[in-house]
A and B are shown apart, each in its own frame.
Chain A
Amino acid sequence: MRLMAVRTSARLRRGLSTLDALLPVLSVAAALGVWELVSRTGLISERDLPAMSTCVRALWHLLETGTFWHELLLTVRGWALGLAVATVLAVPIGIVLGSSDLAGRAFRVPIEFLRPIPSAALIPLLFLTLGTNLKSEIFLAAFGAFWPLLVQTMYGVRDLDPVALDTARSFGLGPVERLYRITLPSTVPYIATGLRISSTVSLILAFTAELFMGIPGLGQAVNVAGAFGLTDQLYALALATGFLGVAIHIVSKAVERRALRWHPSQRRAAA
């Protein structure tokens, strides 16, 4: 009896894991199907929302043009530079604010004030200051990406194990060595989470800057397509941006897995 129960549960588990793999495919297919239907049945007019198949075909044509790839690269550049600037600033500042109680308390109010400001609210200011160029795009992306990284790094440093630090001190490691032998590696999991959140934020804001400020890139292309009523291209570009987001997510997940082989959250995969 028990043996049979075990066997059934094994079969059930195998069945479930196939279902696990199939589930995302099914949900995507369902969403695309609904899109196609909504448009074809005229629930939303085809002029406002062209059918899914039309948009995919438009995307296919876009992929064959050099302009599209150029715009994609520009957006990727804005994303990467924004994220890089945010990281270079947020990690050291986070370490300082996390390790010193005094600094943490001193800057808590300004941080809590600046953090919830929607980055898009800075666009008018950027028009007046940096102007319509890459600098504004990077500034906007970096501003948005800065906060999650900062907060994550601060939490990571605060969560540092005092025993680990005592150990390092007892072996005569100075403050600088403690920083890069103990503090940084133990904070890496938090920074990785921050990076994952911030990379999405950075992409959204690079795109937003292009869309609203007319800085060259996918965002500007969407704006142009909208202005000329090329709705199929507009949705095709939106799809492309979505795929870009997925690609960035997959890459950052893979990087995280490699960097955190030792971390409990990744251990099963490593063993």
Chain B
Amino acid sequence: MLEIRHLGKTYGSGERATRAVGDVDLTVTEGELVCVVGPSGCGKTTLLKCIGGLLRPTSGEVVLRGRRVTDPPEEMALVFQDYSRSLMPWTSVRNNVLLPLRHKKLARAERSRLVEEALDAVGLTRFIDHYPWQLSGGMQQRVAIARALAYQPSILLMDEPFASVDAQTRGDLEDLVLSVRERFGVTIVFVTHDIDESVYLADRIAVLTHAPTEVKELIAVDLPSPRDQIATKELPDFARLRAHVYRLIKRERPAAGDLADEEALAATRAET
């Protein structure tokens, strides 16, 4: 359903050009959950923004259900890492979830049904009239997930969504992602730097190289479903996969020269 073909993204031009994404090829099939893991600063977020139509790639293309992505497609929703910046603090949880529905041509009753269903799916029905900042970090990220679900996407892009919540909440949110996927049948591309998380969630893992990033290896995760935070993580296969991904990424540890590149990348990012 989603094809990423020879995708490349370079920031700036001439002397100061920084290649963030080298040449990424990846195909995601309907209903699949693909985790994208890579060393930090390798251009994961850039890649995701290109997939989501927020950034125009320098080379290659993204094709969603046969159509080339140039703008944010309507059947795609994004969940950002920074929930506190992505939610609107001036309005209620209800209105935050309603945001993506306002310009869709829907009956009022249908809209509130979608909002309520999405909030029910993340277990926040009780907090519909709260402000986002009255909720904990984990709950805020659930609001962001509910908002994405209310949009009724067929594909969900998640950019390190649980990087800023504590470990226990993180486990709960991971299970929430799996249950949401069951309930709504969405395809998910999940970017993370957490190796355990990627193995736990994924059907397949795409391990990225250092910037300019490429797909280093695609790993099929054949762990049994449904996954369980304790039982799944006790399986020898889990440990094996985890170690395998770990080694792949460890070998990507940046040399001194790459580090300078990374700083340059951060600098150009700040400018754009």
A interface residues (Cβ-Cβ under 8 A, vs B): 161, 163-164, 166-174, 177, 181-182, 185-186, 188, 262-264, 267, 271
A263 and B54 within 8 A (CB):
no
A171 and B80 within 8 A (CB):
no
Across-interface contacts of B40 in A (CB, < 8 A):
none
- Distance in Å: Cβ of B65 to nearest Cβ of chain A: 16
What's the count of A-B pairs with C-beta under 8 Å?
62
A170 and B54 within 8 A (CB):
yes
Q: List residues of B (72-128) whose CB comes within 8 Å of A's CBs.
A: 72, 74, 76-78, 80, 82, 85-86, 88-91, 99-100, 102-103
Q: Is B246 an interface residue (CB 8 A)?
A: no
Cα-based distance from A181 to B82 in the complex (angstroms): 19
Evaluate whether A181 and B102 lie within 8 angstroms (CB atoms) in the complex, with A167-B80, A172-B74 already known. yes
A263 and B89 within 8 A (CB):
yes
B133 and A267 within 8 A (CB):
yes
Q: Is B151 an interface residue (CB 8 A)?
A: yes
Chain A interface, DSSP helix/strand/loop, else mixed: helix
- Distance in Å: Cβ of A102 to nearest Cβ of chain B: 16
- Distance in Å: Cβ of A171 to nearest Cβ of chain B: 4
Cα-based distance from A39 to B90 in the complex (angstroms): 52
Contact pick for A168, options B77, B89, B99, B133, CB 8 Å: B99
Chain B interface, DSSP helix/strand/loop, else mixed: loop
Q: Is B131 an interface residue (CB 8 A)?
A: yes
B85 and A164 within 8 A (CB):
yes
- Distance in Å: Cβ of B97 to nearest Cβ of chain A: 11
B interface residues (Cβ-Cβ under 8 A, vs A): 49, 52-54, 72, 74, 76-78, 80, 82, 85-86, 88-91, 99-100, 102-103, 131, 133-134, 147, 151
Evaluate whether A164 and B86 lie within 8 angstroms (CB atoms) in the complex, with A172-B74, A262-B131 already known. yes
Point out which of B49, B85, B147 has the most chain A C-beta atoms below 10 A from its C-beta. Answer: B85
B85 to chain A: closest residue by CB: A163
A163 and B88 within 8 A (CB):
no
- Distance in Å: Cβ of A18 to nearest Cβ of chain B: 31
A262 and B133 within 8 A (CB):
yes
Evaluate whether A188 and B90 lie within 8 angstroms (CB atoms) in the complex, with A166-B54, A262-B131 already known. yes
B102 and A172 within 8 A (CB):
no
Cα-based distance from A174 to B71 in the complex (angstroms): 11
Cα-based distance from A264 to B89 in the complex (angstroms): 9
B86 to chain A: closest residue by CB: A167
Evaluate whether A185 and B90 lie within 8 angstroms (CB atoms) in the complex, with A163-B80, A170-B52, A173-B103 already known. yes
Cα-based distance from A199 to B267 in the complex (angstroms): 41
B100 and A166 within 8 A (CB):
no
B78 and A170 within 8 A (CB):
yes
- Distance in Å: Cβ of B90 to nearest Cβ of chain A: 4
- Distance in Å: Cβ of A52 to nearest Cβ of chain B: 46
Point out which of A167, A173, A181, A264 has the most chain B C-beta atoms below 10 A from its C-beta. Answer: A167
B89 and A171 within 8 A (CB):
no
Across-interface contacts of B82 in A (CB, < 8 A):
163
Cα-based distance from A169 to B70 in the complex (angstroms): 12
* Given A170-B53, A173-B99, 17 extra CB contacts under 8 A: A161-B85, A163-B80, A163-B82, A164-B86, A166-B78, A167-B80, A170-B72, A170-B76, A170-B78, A171-B100, A171-B151, A172-B103, A173-B100, A173-B103, A262-B91, A263-B89, A263-B90
A173 to chain B: closest residue by CB: B103
Cα-based distance from A262 to B92 in the complex (angstroms): 9
Evaluate whether A262 and B89 lie within 8 angstroms (CB atoms) in the complex, with A173-B103, A177-B103 already known. yes
Cα-based distance from A172 to B99 in the complex (angstroms): 10
- Distance in Å: Cβ of A72 to nearest Cβ of chain B: 36
B90 and A171 within 8 A (CB):
no
